[in-house]
Structure 1
Amino acid sequence: MTSASVDAPPRCTTSHTRARETARKLTVEAIGTFFLVFTVCFAVAHGNPLAPLAIGAVLAVMIYAGGHISGGHYNPAVTLGALVRGRIELPVAIGYWCAQVIAGVVAGVVARALLGASPASLHPTGHDLTAALVVELLFTFALVYVVLNVATSKDHPQNSFYGLAIGGTVAAGALAVGPISGGVFNPAVLLGGMTMGMFGAITLLYLIVQIAGGVIAGLAFRYLNPGDK
């Protein structure tokens, strides 16, 4: 019997460890996404002028809380960008997407039950819809681009500012274009908000540009950082 065969861990133990690690990551993604969407629903429903700051802050603290476990995506577009960038494998990305979407919808259901009434829903049409789609594309790209550069780049190992940078991007986007599109930049927020009644059916078109924004950001990172695999 060789030393390699003695030292090799049992296959069942390795599989169990991987399954447990994946479960930890999905749980963190679900928790972070839930509190992000829950905060969005309540801040917007109450018409709080500081809503963008509250949303950016909760995203930042949840990233600091869970980033060391799952990466702190809390956004299917971010996970897609990480997939294109080569930071995450497809099976894990699918798990992230499921956890994020389910958590977002649950947050919307809970928020609607607690509030008792949903705010007026957003139904952009015509030029307003075109403008909303453009700004959603731009700021989803900006958000994913920032995440990939501050949280996954080998040029920023063990940095301590990534949460503030990411939360700040969301807050800036919400302040800048919130009146145009609602400042969504996140499919989980969109679906959770629709569950609560914040967004009308036409805003499902946001999903197209949010997906595009995530893909473009991933490709941009690979182009700008060819040596960072």
Structure 2
Amino acid sequence: MTSNVRAMYAVEAIGTFFLVFTVGAAAGSGSPFAPLAIGATLMVMIYAGGHISGGHYNPAVTLAVLLRHRIGLRDAVGYWIAQLVAGLLAAVVVRAVVVPAQMETTETLTLAGHTLVAAFVVELLFTFALCFVVLNVATSKSHPNNSFYGLAIGFTVVAGAFSVGAISGAAFNPAVAVSAAVMGMFAWPTLWVYLVAQLAAAVAAGALFLALNPDDR
């Protein structure tokens, strides 16, 4: 493994750690500004590490970028491992440092019937929006070296969190979803709803980008 590859994996781990830690700390403390905190953290981490790894911090985004042919399978697997491990580590740190009483009062989001279908739909839609925005602002030949990509991606998450946070918890990210289950925010039996919706959205975003930009490969 070359030093460049190690740096890419390290950046993905660092960015995902701070994203998941912010999700857990902001939600666990009951902050009404959690969506802004989460979107801002994603934005600054993308600006900090985007030039090294692309600033995915999200297995669904990595899948979309893989389908869009901007990352190889070997590196994608490395990204997924780094993202998931970093997310789980962040979840453990949150449970250790956020006031236990606050974490105990955080309700586990349970889904059944209509709420399960609603959560699937909104996770599908906003994960698609997130992946589609990433592909267009951070990987398109039409926007080389632009300065707005981090802001666009961060505000996609802010918009989604404010819009549908009360419906699904606004994960839009498999690493966040799994870590949220570890933190007691999501119920383990319905975790599959998030993972299926998010991965399907990533595939759809990658396929649509290629269909709309046949010369950008």
TM-score (norm 2): 0.96
Give 1:27-176 correspondences, 5 Å limit.
27-115=10-98, 116=100, 117-118=103-104, 119-176=106-163
* TM-superposed deviation, 1:192: 1.1
For residues 191 and 182 of structure 2, the distance between their equivalents in structure 1, rounded to whole angstroms, comes to 12
- Percent identical residues: 61
Deviations 1:165-218 (A, max 9, x none): 000000000000000000000001011111111111113321001000001000
For residues 48 and 73 of structure 1, the distance between their equivalents in structure 2, rounded to whole angstroms, comes to 25
* Counterpart amino acid of residue 108 in structure 1: A
Q: Is the 8 A contact 1:123 1:200 kept in 2?
A: yes
User: Does residue 206 in structure 1 map to residue 194 in structure 2?
Assistant: yes
Larger Rg belongs to: 1
* Counterpart amino acid of residue 25 in structure 2: F
For residues 175 and 148 of structure 1, the distance between their equivalents in structure 2, rounded to whole angstroms, comes to 22
For residues 167 and 135 of structure 1, the distance between their equivalents in structure 2, rounded to whole angstroms, comes to 18
For residues 31 and 170 of structure 2, the distance between their equivalents in structure 1, rounded to whole angstroms, comes to 14
Give the RMSD, CA atoms, in angstroms: 0.8
Q: Which residue of 2 aligns with 1:12?
A: none
Q: Which runs of 5+ in 1 are unaligned?
A: 1-17
Query: How many correspondences in the alignment?
Result: 212
Deviations 1:129-155 (A, max 9, x none): 100000000000000000000000000
For residues 141 and 206 of structure 1, the distance between their equivalents in structure 2, rounded to whole angstroms, comes to 12
* Counterpart amino acid of residue 57 in structure 1: A
* TM-superposed deviation, 1:120: 1.4
Q: Which runs of 5+ in 2 are unaligned?
A: none
